[in-house]
Structure 1
Amino acid sequence: MMPFSSRYAHQARSARRSILTTATILLGGCALLAATACAPAGSASSQSGTAGKPAVLAAFYPLEWLSTKVAGPDATVTGLTRPGVEPHDLELTPRQIADIEQADLVVYLKGVQPAVDEAVEQYAADKAFDVASTVTTLTASAEGHEGEEAHEPVAYDPHLWLDPSRFATVATALGARLGQADAAHTAAYTGRAASTAGELNALDQELQQGLGTCARRTLVTSHTAFGYLADRYRLKQVGISGLDAEAEPAPARIAEVAGIARREKVTTIFTEELLSPKVSEVLAKEVGAATAVLNPIESRPPSGDYLSAARANLATLRTALECT
């Protein structure tokens, strides 16, 4: 699959090549130094290897959450993206690239983080697990891209973790993949994967019931991150911007969304914690709507975890859509 937006690839390509070249030079040098000198706190190298546990690297938060649930005490899981960092903006350090090369398994989502994609291709192609390969993905909508800087064609929407039923499928596949990497604990990984899939399917049922009967079904969002949520629960997503969260929407697009919001009697414009709310706030004022935060769960929540963040989203949506 192609990256979902070439914006990140164009901006990061030269920097990525520089980092990868530097990493190749530094890998040998790091081996000559003490681990604390080469590895920052939180790196895989500083945390893995205890009692011979496999080292698992997860590209960003939802994959880290899932990997931790399935790995349990039998493997060490480390996230590559720190809390509060937009996953698409991640640039790898030489130490992180060394960790990718040394890891037993890298769990990632191809097309989301160009730097991770390239590092995996060069250093970990035989021990990487692309979660998008386990489910049917949604084709990226062109909605919201009007007037943006011209990009290469978008291939697919990567936000599949916002559909718990799809994420349950990923959990099952991850359990099998961990079992391949660590045959001694295959049954434990498979069991935890089944338990996690059960939790995700229960969450799916909560969302099905909670969003089953609502006064309105249109979501006006700051960008089109919620396609899987809308697809699964029969909602209509209208993004001010497209999949590229940092792209500036054209004035014509803002006017178009305002017209849709008025016509469909939208009472809430949804913003995100890691994005500027300014455009959404202006739009909300223009159409006489309130704003509320809808979490794409790309980064670790300030409190709680993936499940609690998804349930908080459900409560927000029920209020905004007047669900009964």
Structure 2
Amino acid sequence: MGRRSCVKAAALCAVGVLAASGCAGGGQDDEGGGGDRLSVATGAYPLQWLTEQVGGDRVEVQNLADPGTDPHELELSPRQIGTVSSADIAFYIGGLQPAVDDAVADQGGGNGLDVAELVELRTLEENAESGGHEHGGDGEGHEDGHGGEGDSHDDDHGSGGDEAANESGDAHDHGHDAGEPDPHMWLDTERFARAAEGLADRLGEVDPEHASDYADNAETVTGLLDEIDTEYSTGLAECESRDIVVSHSAFGYLAARYDLHQISPAGLDSHSEPSPGRLAEIAETVREEDITTVFTEPLSDSGAAETIAEEAGAETAVLDPIEGVADASAGDDYPSLMRANLDTLSEALRCS
């Protein structure tokens, strides 16, 4: 067990896959030591956090995205490709970061663990169709507990799933996103909990001597995620509005789970460019539906959201898709950011 030997990284260097600067140390930093700990490379902050919780002190985690950067923009250096190659497990979400997908496929040697292997990823269209539309409703559409895949809700907004898809940006400038898997599954605490359990199983396969430790840690994480889920279900049960206008369509899982309605000018990619007509259309919706707040993000350009708010005379507030942690973030880890988001939503949606 333990991490993969440096032989593989050296071989890659020999054939010119990695630059010489990326081969020193076999693609791993040894400053913190590693001993016999498992090495796990993660593509994005939420997976880093989850791995640290489930792996505990038995795992050394190296996140490929620098703190405070947008993971959608990730490009891997030769050294980072070496990190993927030499890791015992490369934990990632297929489709979120093409550079990571390619590195795992080309250099991972079977060490990849795609979240899609552990939980069902929904498409942007599926999330739009299950988003809540009951203005001022009591949230009864949300299924308590963790047994359901769909978290489906009735559409009382007037014209069913097609309109929901349109208002999420699917049928406008970003129709190509509609059928693509939405990678932002960590905003659904139930799915994130199942990912923790699946990660624990994989860690136990690689390191059977400590399999029970990983399972116990996953149980602890699941308990924490259950607590956050309960807080959301309670806090968002009675709100004057259930519409969330966001910069890009990162909140579909959260909207589907808690009977909210995501409205976005952009698709799954935070760098999608909405048309002026789309911005004007959403601004009109904000005025008509008496939406008081348009949400920006801490890591990516929120110019479109700010334009909508200015045209509609609405306020702005930061709603974090938790794609990373930055100095401007409202918390310093996943639980604190989720709870900060709940506070922001409760105030903006006028929940009681």
For the superposition of Structure 1 and Structure 2, which TM-score range results when normalised by the shorter chain? 0.7 to 0.9
Distance in structure 2 (CA, Å) of the matches to 1:25 and 1:289: 54
CA gap of 1:188–1:144, structure 2 versus 1, over 3 A, is same
Q: Is residue 30 of structure 2 the alignment partner of residue 46 of structure 1?
A: yes
Comparing 305-314 with 133-142, greater Cα deviation is found at 133-142
Partner residue of 1:293 out of 307, 315, 318: 318
For residues 139-174 of structure 1, give each alpha carbon's deviation from its aligned partner in whole angstroms, at most 9, with x where no partner exists: 123642555388587421110001111101111111
Change (3 A) 1:279 1:73: same
Counterpart amino acid of residue 122 in structure 2: L
Contact kept? 1:22, 1:94, Cα under 8 Å? no
Shift of 1:124: 1.4
Shift of 1:28: 8.4
Correspondence for 1:185: 210
- Specify which of 153, 168, 182 is matched with residue 193 of structure 2: 168
Going from structure 1 to structure 2, the CA distance change for 1:23 and 1:85 (only over 3 Å counts) comes to farther
Q: Is the aligned partner of 1:133 residue 2:117?
A: yes
**Counterparts in 2 of 1:228 and 1:23: CA distance versus 1, 3 Å:** farther
Q: TM-score, normalised by structure 2?
A: 0.79
Once the two structures are overlaid, the 10-residue window that deviates more, 149-158 or 224-233, is: 149-158
Counterparts in 2 of 1:214-233, with a 5 A limit?
214-233=239-258
**1:65, distance to aligned residue in structure 2 (A):** 0.3
Q: Equivalent residue for 1:211?
A: 236
2-side partners of 1:296 and 1:290: how far apart?
19
Runs of 4+ residues over 6 Å off in structure 1:
none
- What's the counterpart of residue 74 of structure 2? 90
CA contact (8 A) 2:296 2:317 kept: yes
- For the 8 Å contact 1:23–1:95, the answer to whether it is kept is no
2:265–2:278 contact (8 Å) kept in structure 1:
yes
Q: Is the 8 A contact 1:218 1:266 kept in 2?
A: yes
- Partner SS state of residue 91, structure 2: strand
- What CA distance in whole angstroms lies between the structure 1 residues aligned with 2:204 and 2:290? 50
SS at structure 2 position matched to 1:298: coil
CA distance in 2 between partners of 1:150 and 1:236 (Å): 18
**Is 2:296 the counterpart of 1:271?**
yes
1:199-255 C-alpha deviation (Å, 9 max, x unpaired): 111111111111111011000111111000100000000002111211211122112
Q: What secondary structure does 2:231 align onto?
A: helix
> Retained in 1: the 8 A contact 2:121–2:185?
yes
Q: CA deviation at 1:45?
A: 3.8
**3-state SS in 2 of match to 1:52:** coil
- The separation in 1 between residues aligned to 2:270 and 2:34, in whole angstroms, is 39
- Measure, in 1, the Cα distance between the counterparts of 2:255 and 2:224: 20
1:131 shift after superposition: 1.1
In structure 1, stretches of 5+ residues that fail to align are 1-20
SS of the residue 1:148 aligns to: coil
How has the CA–CA distance of structure 1 residues 28 and 321 changed in structure 2, closer, same or farther, with 3 Å as cutoff? closer
Q: Using the TM superposition, give the Cα deviation of residue 183 of structure 1 relative to its aligned residue in structure 2, in angstroms.
A: 1.1
Give the alignment of 1:72-91 within 5 angstroms: 72-91=56-75
Q: Name the SS of the counterpart of 2:343 in structure 1.
A: helix
1:255 corresponds to: 280
Q: What code does the residue aligned with 1:310 have?
A: M
Deviation of 1:259 (Å): 2.0
Mapped to 2, the partners of 1:195 and 1:147 lie a distance apart of 42
**1:23–1:161 Cα change, 3 Å:** farther
- Alignment-derived partner of residue 314 in structure 1: 342
Q: Secondary structure at the match of 1:259?
A: helix
Letter in 2 for 1:248: E
Give the structure 1 partner of residue 148 of structure 2: none
Alpha-carbon deviations, 1:242-287, whole Å to 9, x = none?
1121121112211221222122110000010122232222211221
What is the count of residue pairs matched by the alignment? 297
95, 98, 102: which one aligns with 1:111: 95
Q: Which amino acid aligns with 1:225?
A: A
Change (3 A) 1:104 1:322: same
1:283 aligns with 2:308: yes
Q: Distance in 2 between matches of 1:34 and 1:102?
A: 12
User: CA-atom RMSD, angstroms?
Assistant: 2.3
Give 1:220's aligned amino acid.
V
Q: SS of the counterpart of 2:265?
A: strand
Instruction: In structure 2, give the amino acid aligned to 1:115.
Output: A
Cα deviations across residues 94-134 of structure 1 (Å, max 9, x unaligned)?
11111111110111000111011011011215111111222
Q: Aligned equivalents of 2:206 and 2:35: distance in 1?
A: 16
Q: CA–CA distance in 2 between the matches of 1:267 and 1:147?
A: 24
Distance 1:171 1:87 in 2: 21
